[in-house]
Amino acid sequence: MVGILPILLAIAAVVFAGERLHLGGWLALAGSTFGAAVIALSSERTSGVAYASIRGDLLVVLSMFAAIGWILISKRLMRRHSAIMVTAIVFWVGTVLLAAVVMVTSGVPSLRYSSRAWIAVAEQGLFATTTTTVLWNWGLKRVPASQAGIFVNLEPLVGAILGVSLLHERLGIMALAGGALIIAGAVYFSYKPEGSSVQVTG
């Protein structure tokens, strides 16, 4: 499943949103996907890794299609609303649904946590979730969904860079080549004139 989200998103954008992605765009997506897979497969396996299960794999697949639906719905909503408004709507709906699931499955959660824990949660909510989602929606409003998905593959690249800089891990030749493919795909979509690579209709 590593790196396949951008290609599936592009297919969904073409089929359901009327976007058109030319050959160069498909090749950039394929190269970026291959690069993300190379980085994931070249990482060293830890002895404590959990075994895969059918249920877990199905949940990953379901979450991937849910993400595609979320992106396409957000893209449509931002034709009429701002990125901040769409982000707020998504968060409110998500909060209500998550609260319902938690209370049904685990009961009312405890609120007795240390101030340090609450500060950590607030920081993650503000910086790692809210700010990044607003920025993502701000960019998605200005870029076709079939193009925006390729930037998702920057996540494993950034993770690899942080692993080297903070955890002193080492990257092999294959991982470096995978990173180069990811960057090349992102650069292609950043500098290719939108009209020549993607045509949005409807």
pLDDT tens across the length of the chain (202 residues): 557 888 999 999 999 988 988 899 999 999 998 988 888 777 654 444 555 678 877 888 898 899 999 999 999 999 999 999 999 999 999 999 999 999 999 998 888 889 999 999 999 999 989 999 999 999 999 889 988 888 888 887 888 888 888 888 887 888 889 889 999 998 998 876 544 344 444 4
What is the predicted pLDDT for the residue at 47? Answer: 43
C-alpha 111: how far from chain center: 30
Listed by start position, the domains of the chain span 5-200
SS3 199: strand
Give the largest CA-CA distance in the chain.
56
What is the predicted pLDDT for the residue at 1? Answer: 58
pTM of the model as a whole: 0.78
Closest CA to 152 of 56, 70, 49, 53: 70
What is the predicted pLDDT for the residue at 37? Answer: 85
Q: What amino acid occupies position 62?
A: L
What is the predicted pLDDT for the residue at 193? Answer: 52
What SS3 string covers 127-166?
HHHHHHHHHHHHHHHHCCHHHHHHHHHHHHHHHHHHHHHH
